[in-house]
Structure 1
Amino acid sequence: MNRTRTITAGLLLAAVGPLAACGGGSDPLATPSQAGGGSTADSGTITVGSADFPEATLLGEIYAQALEKKGVSVKKQFNIGSRETYLKAITGGEVDVLPEYTGSLLNFYNKDAKVTSPDEVYAELQKALPAGLTVLDKSAAEDKNAMVVSADTASQWSLKSIEDLASHQSELTIGAPAEFKTRQQGLVGLKSVYNIVPSEFRALQSQAAVDALKNGQVKAANIFSTDPSIAANKFVVLEDPKSLFGSDNIVPLVRDQSADAVKGVLNQVSAKLDTSSLADMVKQVVVDKKDASEVAKTWVDGAGIS
């Protein structure tokens, strides 16, 4: 998934189009002057960015609207791309704040990290970040990468956990975004942690991965754990007993220069955000086709962020 984060999981493709409009259409990696007058805290405006999947855009909206309620001038730059792309934007100063995921970001910066518990992952992440970046308080909300199969495949192969796939490698086709092929929280980790090498890997994004799983074109797919397609299609999330995917709490990633301007408000957001609320909001955006900005506003107002 894209947190690996890589998977922009099922049913999400339909939401990307309308959500992308929130990003404004300018080049996310342009210089501040090219992007429309600057996006750093030095200009008095905080630029909030996001990855290119609906949950990330929704979280970006929550951060942006919470800051605006506090009187902060905010520019939105959503749907930037994969982690490799949007981290260039924040390290380059074009973006000041991004919603991130603790375990996936730690794995990006330290592929040898062995910790799995939420607090351990958060502590190691703080050590692993490059100079100029920091994370604020993590939230209880968690959305992890998951290995998902259809109910029929789970029954036919007697699957309960990822390690059960090992005896079916010759028949195993995995669908996931292209980045999954080279990441530790992907095929690399499946081999090193579970000794699993699928017979075939198919690079599939969003709805394509869900459709392929439904149609039997792939036997397993990498889908975010809060994705509404799991319940809608009665998919089975395989257990991860060796913690390949670890903990992935949502956390604001910010530039050091912007931290003082945003930490009070964004720490309030993290204190209020939980997994069930997040999953419900993602469903509203992806399944019910509600506008992400309206869903975010309802939550921010209801949470009493000020």
Structure 2
Amino acid sequence: MSTINRSRRVAALGTLAALTLGATACGSSGGNPLDGGSSASAATGGAGGSGSTVVVGSANFPENVLLGSIYSQALKAKGVKVQEKFNIGSREVLYGQLQSGNLTVLPEYNGSLLAYLDAKSTAVTTQDVNAELAKTLPATLGILESSPAEDKDSLSVTQETADKDNLKTIADLAAKAGEYTIGGPPEFKSRREQQLKDVYGLTFKEWKPTGDATANALKDGSIQVGNVFTTDPKIVQYKLVPLADPKNIFGAQNVTPLVNKAGVDATATAALNAVSAKLDTAGLVALMKRVSVDKEDPSAVAKDWLKSNGLG
């Protein structure tokens, strides 16, 4: 969501220099496009009104392709005419195509989208981020309901460490941080060390740059706390525990449909909101394991998820 790590997502969805949330999120799949979604040429003009074609796009990394396929198939299940245009590229390109009407729907991450539109925003909760997006987006674009699923930074530990030291939240680390080595991308220390001290009172024994090998370093015991991202399939593989963040130092990154309003009617809106209501982080991690680790076709994984949730 690391890798879709935020370094990946920022690269894939646009260079967000003002993002303070770390080099992020999850998924061990890097930024390489998948072949799983069917590609289609861009629609010409807006896709407005009942009976028109809704064009579902995605960025060029596996999690976003999977989400695009979920959206596409959910719409088709409700009789909406759909065209898929996956693996497009950066947020700058995607956003421009949505504004022009060449795309109708995109799976977005609300916090990253807000940072792209307003680098000075300090909103961190889902409610505040979405309220600011509603004010910041142009009148032609809008967000639908956000899902509980988030692809964001976390501090994670092994299940063994969580059980041994009774760790459930980042705050619980305060009593043990002095004994722990923490790992993450090289920039994680400079971006987060002072904040973790100020907000949670954490002073770690050592900071170790582990980059994309953070989850592996947790597994082999060379670190005890790691900046693993919340949809990284290795969370499932290695039975890692992302600690809750009650003080919201890692802002909201909810999977959220971004739409060209003229292109979605009540049927399409209801179908996409129904997806958001069912999609949570644990479920998305499990789906990403199938795509990135087990190498299953994302469209087939999306179809299974929709069927199991009564949406396909």
TM-score normalised by structure 2 residue count: 0.68
Q: 1:73 aligns with which of 67, 81, 85?
A: 81
**2: CA distance between counterparts of 1:266 and 1:40?**
19
**1: CA distance between counterparts of 2:284 and 2:151?**
9
Q: Verify the 8 A CA contact 2:150 2:280 in the aligned structure 1.
A: yes
Aligned to 1:175: 185
Aligned to 1:248: 253
**1: CA distance between counterparts of 2:264 and 2:190?**
35
Aligned to 2:18: none
Q: 1:20 aligns with which of 25, 30, 35?
A: 35
The 3-state SS of whatever aligns with 1:95 is coil
Distance 1:65 1:12, change over 3 A: same
**2: CA distance between counterparts of 1:36 and 1:105?**
22
Q: Verify the 8 A CA contact 2:110 2:255 in the aligned structure 1.
A: yes
**1: CA distance between counterparts of 2:64 and 2:253?**
13
Q: Verify the 8 A CA contact 1:51 1:79 in the aligned structure 2.
A: yes
Q: 2:299 aligns with which of 285, 293, 296?
A: 293
Q: Verify the 8 A CA contact 2:110 2:254 in the aligned structure 1.
A: yes
Q: Verify the 8 A CA contact 2:124 2:248 in the aligned structure 1.
A: no
CA deviation map 1:68-125 (0-9, x unaligned): 1222222222223343443233234332111122233233333322342x33333233
Aligned to 1:9: 26
**1: CA distance between counterparts of 2:159 and 2:302?**
33
Aligned to 1:101: 109
**1: CA distance between counterparts of 2:123 and 2:193?**
15
Q: Verify the 8 A CA contact 1:189 1:244 in the aligned structure 2.
A: no
Distance 1:265 1:151, change over 3 A: closer
Aligned to 1:32: none
The 3-state SS of whatever aligns with 1:247 is coil
Is 1:144 aligned to 2:152, yes or no?
yes
**2: CA distance between counterparts of 1:39 and 1:228?**
38
Segment drifting more, 251-260 vs 120-129? 120-129
Is 1:275 aligned to 2:281, yes or no?
yes
Aligned to 2:65: 57
Could you tell me which amino acid in structure 2 is paired with residue 175 of structure 1? P
Displacement, 1:148? 5.0
Displacement, 1:64? 0.2
Q: Which runs of 5+ in 1 are unaligned?
A: 27-34
The 3-state SS of whatever aligns with 1:224 is coil
Distance 1:69 1:229, change over 3 A: same
Distance 1:37 1:140, change over 3 A: closer
**1: CA distance between counterparts of 2:85 and 2:136?**
25
**2: CA distance between counterparts of 1:190 and 1:244?**
12
Could you tell me which amino acid in structure 2 is paired with residue 122 of structure 1? N
**2: CA distance between counterparts of 1:284 and 1:55?**
11
TM-score normalised by structure 1 residue count: 0.69
Distance 1:303 1:233, change over 3 A: closer
**2: CA distance between counterparts of 1:96 and 1:5?**
30
Displacement, 1:10? 4.3
**1: CA distance between counterparts of 2:69 and 2:63?**
10
Aligned to 1:112: 121
Displacement, 1:281? 1.7
Q: 2:55 aligns with which of 29, 47, 50?
A: 47
Distance 1:106 1:222, change over 3 A: farther
Q: Verify the 8 A CA contact 2:26 2:231 in the aligned structure 1.
A: no
Displacement, 1:232? 2.5
**2: CA distance between counterparts of 1:16 and 1:58?**
13
The 3-state SS of whatever aligns with 2:69 is helix
Q: Which runs of 5+ in 2 are unaligned?
A: 1-5, 11-20
Q: Verify the 8 A CA contact 2:25 2:152 in the aligned structure 1.
A: no
Displacement, 1:265? 1.4
**1: CA distance between counterparts of 2:273 and 2:140?**
19
CA deviation map 1:139-166 (0-9, x unaligned): 2333322245789999xxxx984997xx
Equivalent residues in 2 for 1:195-206, closer than 5 Å: none
